[in-house]
Amino acid sequence: MIIPILILVPFLASLFVPLLYTYVRSKRIGWMVLPVPLMLFVILSLQIPNLASGENLFHTIRWLNSAGIHFTTHLDGLSMILGLLITGMGTLVVMYSIYYLSEREALGRFYMYLLLFMGSMLGVVFSDNILVLYVFWELTSVSSFLLIAFWHQRKNSRAGAKKAMLITVTGGIGMLVGFLMMHHMTGTYSIQEMIGMAETLPAYDLFIPAMLLILLGAFTKSAQFPFHIWLPDAMEAPTPVSAYLHSATMVKAGIYLVARFIPVFGESELWFYSVTFIGLLTLLWGSFNAVRQNDLKALLAYSTISQLGLIMSLLGIGSAAMLEISGADKTIYTAAAFAGLFHLINHSTFKGALFMIIGIVDHELGTRDIRKLGGLAVFMPITFSIALAGSFSMAGLPPFNGFLSKELFLEASLAVQHLALPGVHVWIPIVAWIASVLTFVYCMIIVFQTFFGRQQQQPAWVDRGAHDPQPGMLVAPSILGVLIVGLFFFPNVLGKWILKPAMAAVYPSFGDSDSLVPHIAAWHGLSPALWMTIGIILVGTILYIFLHQWRRIYTISPFSWKIDNIYTLLLIQLEGNSYHLTNKYMTGHLHRYFTYILLFFIAMMGTALSFVWRLAFNFSGDATVTMNEYILIAVMMAAAISILFVNSRLIAILLNGVLGFTVAFLFVVLRAPDLALTQIVVETVTTVLFLLTFRFMPDWEKERPRRPVKALNAFIAVASGLIVIVTALIVQGNRLFEPISKYFEDAKTLTGGGNIVNAILGDFRAFDTMLEIVVLLIGGLGVYVLIKLKDKKDGDGNENQ
């Protein structure tokens, strides 16, 4: 039961944050929120020994038994990694935000959104039911939208939030379709049960479409090419949000999904190609674009895209262990997946630290523009030290943890030579090496152009002064800095307790997980990977020295092209076309709206009646029509037809009343007095209202429609009536199931009510009736408020509506 509680706690805490903030109204609200992620992190950490011993935690809260949808949680090594990142980084981000955000900010709203996101991410990684996972998946998109648009007064913040929402939600919908296909093939919503059926799934026609749609969701969430364009714009969010969502948590959701489904799809070569090559392309494109940035946060955004591509490509190479490869040691490929999970953790440490450091520079100096910075190492020594550790770790230099996982990445890129796939073993290490060189270059830009050298423009710190921030703001990045160095010297502690159970989750059919966890060491001799690293450092240093000379290529096509321009053009076109299209049918004329609705109804129902349904009628079970009923029906028909030919509006209203009151008499004949009374009341009120508004209506002759419009109205009326009649007769004569009225007929026994209508309204559908009353109450309150609302004037005498 512990895991469902862990998911629920952030949601419950978010409900109390606004209430607490109304009484606190200061930065103390952050200290009240801080224990939530810290407590979750401690609870999860206590489960590490159990997972390391091979134990997994399952818990099911039964929900929809008939549909097989239950809230099933699963804690294993893979979900533990993400859970620790979500709660651990959440703790550090809350601590950092306490000092970063001003008291003038809407802190209650900020922490509420942050806790909503934390709970949603925990729901994603701990859910075993794919539909429940999808619900939390979209909740991360919604809560991240709120966090990115936190400074909603800024146009760029709103645009960045909209872009992130559009892309990730679109991918999520595709993923949902893929999940439904998986359910159709397996008959279950459980991921673990799907893994158990993995060998039989490739025989299904839906296997490939389901795989591609699930990858679509993963790629959009993890900012893979070409869906990466939302991530740079999302950097308009406050720095604590960027450090949390875009380095450690949200962007890792897609990577988690790919790792989770390796046992299901790993035997497909298409999976290997898709994940590996999209990851490598993202790695190369992200690193290439990072070098051109002048904004430090934009540089970190593209570096995040690049590093996510690196991790994705490692998981792709790791999935090759599931392929049928004759004569190859599968541990060569499982080592790639191990490197991906290892770098997943390392990336969160150094990228989280770098985001916080850039936030400190912006907070203290008021700019992130590299051209306005330089020489800060002397004035901000602690900030510089952490930035140095984070940047060198990302560049893959010792003695920092990024060096270890980068070496494993280079070894994995060389390992594909064992695959019997033409050309793959040549291009993968080449792309990996080029992207690593560019990574080295942009890491040097962060360190040397920000903290050393001369600035290109007037330095920002001349007027404001440059100094390290208050100690509280340095606590969180300092902890990450210690981890960056500590994991370099003690990586196998992480491998034994965290990565080993995670590898067992990625490769459940491989038996002993000890063979899946290689020994991590900084020195492996003069290996090819080491020579590649030496080449990266040499070439990267040369490129950095001559950076200003060769960076001019970004102004030349095709290097100047941006995928983001395609999105902008598409969005402008869609918005413009939708605006014109909406103006075509939203004319303000009620007659046209009814025309569109009824024509659509005629087209859809007419098609269904013609091609789908059987036009079979069965009148054998119908009751006998009495003479009284024939008379009332004749009166109704005469009144309805007469309305069409009268020249006086008053007479038309009276005839309409005759039609309504005749329906009430028909209810009396059919022994339904409650319905008759209701009909009489409604008809009386509507007739009176018609008469009261009579003098405000335009002249009868002026509003008469032209002959073509009359013909169209006649067609719509006749066609709609015929379709309703035919549909009612078909349904009456062709019952596929026992009518639900049989159940209501036992109302006396079930409810004690002698009136079946009252029993239905008051007992069988009591909640529906209650909600209808609530809707009426809300509507009434709205009308009351509008009536009582008076114009108010501001201090300048202007009226506020």
Residue-wise pLDDT tens digits, 589-616: 888 888 899 999 999 888 888 776 566 6
| Beta-carbon count within 10 A of 388 CB | 18
Task: Tell me: cis bond preceding 49? Omega within 30 of 0 counts.
Answer: no
Amino acid at 283: L
Helices 707-733 + 590-611 axis angle, to 10: 40
Tell me: pLDDT of 539 over 70.
yes
* Alpha helices for 490-562 (secondary structure H): 491-494, 500-506, 528-545, 547-550
What does the alpha-carbon distance between residue 620 and residue 629 come to, in Å, rounded to a whole number?
Answer: 19
Taking the C-alpha atoms of residue 774 and residue 438, their distance in angstroms, rounded to an integer, is: 61
Pick the CATH number of 609-766 from 3.90.1690, 3.30.300, 1.20.120, 2.60.40: 1.20.120
- The per-residue pLDDT for 475 is 94
Work out the pLDDT band at 484, boundaries 50, 70, 90: very high
Place of tokens 């430090």: 296
Half-sphere exposure of 763 (CA within 13 A, CB side): 17
**Contact (Cβ atoms closer than 8 angstroms) between residue 280 and residue 432:** yes
3-state helix, strand, coil in the chain (%, to 5): 75, 5, 25
Residue 331 CB coordination number (10 Å): 15
Distance of CA 448 to the CA centre of its chain: 37
In this prediction, residue 423 carries a pLDDT of: 61
**N residues, the chain:** 801
Looking at residue 706, its pLDDT comes to 67
Q: What is the mean pLDDT of residues 137-149?
A: 94
Count Cβ neighbours within 10 Å for each residue of 336-368 and write b for 16 or more, e otherwise.
bbbbbbbbbbbbbbbbbbbbbbbbbbbbbbebb
Q: Is pLDDT of 82 > 60?
A: yes
Assess contact for 283 and 432: CB atoms under 8 A.
Answer: yes
Whether pLDDT at 420 is above 60: no
> What is residue 129's predicted lDDT score, i.e. its pLDDT?
93
Are 256 and 311 within 8 A, CB to CB?
Answer: no
Residue 704 — very low, low, confident or very high, per pLDDT cuts 50/70/90? low
C-alpha distances in angstroms, 168 versus 133, 138, 162?
Answer: 15, 8, 10
Between 168 and 521, whose confidence is greater?
A: 168
Closest CA to 229 of 692, 680, 568, 540: 568
Is residue 702 scored above 60 in pLDDT?
A: no
Average pLDDT (764-778) is: 87
Nearest alpha-carbon partner for 10 in 110, 101, 121, 102: 121
Measured CA to CA in angstroms, residue 187 lies from 190, 202, 260, 499 at distances of: 9, 15, 19, 31
Q: Indicate if the pLDDT at residue 536 is higher than 60.
A: yes
Q: pLDDT by residue (tens digit) across 235-250?
A: 888 999 999 988 878 9
Q: What is the enclosing helix (H) or strand (E) of 756?
A: helix 756-759
- Evaluate if residue 712 carries a pLDDT over 80: yes
Q: What is the pLDDT at residue 800?
A: 42
Domains of the chain, residue spans:
1-198+228-247, 326-555, 609-766
Identify the CA nearest to 283 among candidates 241, 320, 261, 255.
255
Checking if the pLDDT of 784 tops 70, the result is yes
Q: How far apart are alpha carbons 698 and 701 in whole angstroms?
A: 9
Instruction: State which H helix or E strand residue 799 sits in.
Output: strand 799-800
What confidence score (pLDDT) does residue 131 get? 93
Residue 62 backbone phi and psi in degrees, to 5: -65, 140
pLDDT tens string 99-131: 999 888 888 899 999 999 999 999 999 999 999
CA 406 and chain centroid, separation = 30
Average pLDDT over residues 356-361: 93
Q: Give me the mean pLDDT over the 648-660 stretch.
A: 86
Give me the amino acid identity at 416.
V
Q: Please give the Cα distance from 317 to 410 (Å, whole number).
A: 12
Tell me: pLDDT of 436 over 60: yes
Pick from 51, 38, 34, 57: which is nearest to 192 by CA? 57
Closest to 396 in 3D by CA, of 289, 304, 484, 494? 484
How many Cα atoms are found within 13 Å in the side-chain-facing hemisphere of 409? 35
| Lowest mean per-residue pLDDT among 66-80, 315-329, 531-545 | 315-329
Confidence of residue 379 (pLDDT cuts 50, 70, 90): confident
**Is beta strand 792-793 parallel, antiparallel or unpaired with respect to 799-800?**
antiparallel
**What are 417's two structure tokens?**
């030579």
pLDDT, residue 801, reads 39
Average pLDDT over residues 455-484: 78
Largest CA distance in the chain: 105
As a whole number, the mean pLDDT across the chain is: 87
Q: Assess whether pLDDT exceeds 60 at residue 480.
A: yes
Residue 393 pLDDT exceeds 70: yes
User: What band does 559 get if pLDDT is binned at 50, 70 and 90?
Assistant: low
- Render pLDDT for 179-194 as a digit per residue (tens, 0 to 9): 999 999 999 999 999 9
Q: Which string of b and e fits 182-192 if b means at least 16 CB within 10 Å?
A: bbebbebbbbb
pLDDT of residue 455: 57
Q: What is the pLDDT of residue 523?
A: 82
**CA-to-CA distance for 516 and 337, rounded, in angstroms?**
9
Q: What 3-state class would DSSP assign to 71?
A: strand
Enumerate residues 6+ apart whose C-beta is below 8 A from 411: 335, 339, 527, 528, 529
DSSP for residue 203: G
More confident residue, 672 or 239: 239
Report d(CA 195, CA 197) in Å as an integer.
Answer: 5
Tokens of 158: 């709103």
- On whether the CB atoms of residues 383 and 469 are closer than 8 A, the answer is yes
Q: Is 268 left (phi over 0), alpha (psi -120 to 50) or beta?
A: beta
Asked which of 235-239, 278-282, 416-420, 539-543 is least confident by mean pLDDT, the reply is 416-420
Q: Which of 88-92, 335-339, 413-417, 427-431 has the lowest mean pLDDT?
A: 413-417
pLDDT computed for residue 698 by the predictor: 66
Q: Mean pLDDT across the stretch 456-475? A: 71
Taking the chain, what is the end-to-end CA distance rounded to the nearest angstrom?
52
- Please give the Cα distance from 164 to 229 (Å, whole number): 9
CB 544 within 8 A of CB 553: no
Residue-wise pLDDT for 485-518, tens only, equals 999 999 999 888 999 999 999 998 886 667 788 8
Please, how many CA atoms are within 13 Å of residue 322, restricted to the half-sphere of its CB?
Answer: 26
Least confident span in 272-286, 295-309, 587-601, 604-618: 604-618
In whole angstroms, what is the distance from residue 86 CA to residue 140 CA?
12
CA angle 583, 584, 585 (to 5 degrees): 95
More confident residue, 572 or 302: 302
Which two three-digit tokens encode residue 446?
């962060």
Q: What is the pLDDT of residue 283?
A: 95
Share of the chain above pLDDT 90, in %: 49
CA distance 798 to 389: 57
Confidence at residue 699, expressed as pLDDT on a 0 to 100 scale: 64
Q: How many CB atoms lie within 10 A of CB 206?
A: 15
pLDDT value of residue 700: 57
User: C-alpha distances in angstroms, 356 versus 222, 305, 359, 360, 621?
Assistant: 21, 18, 5, 6, 76
* pLDDT score for 509: 82
Residue type, 486: G
Distance CA 762, CA 753 (A): 9
The winner for highest mean pLDDT among 21-25, 285-289, 420-424, 651-655 is 285-289
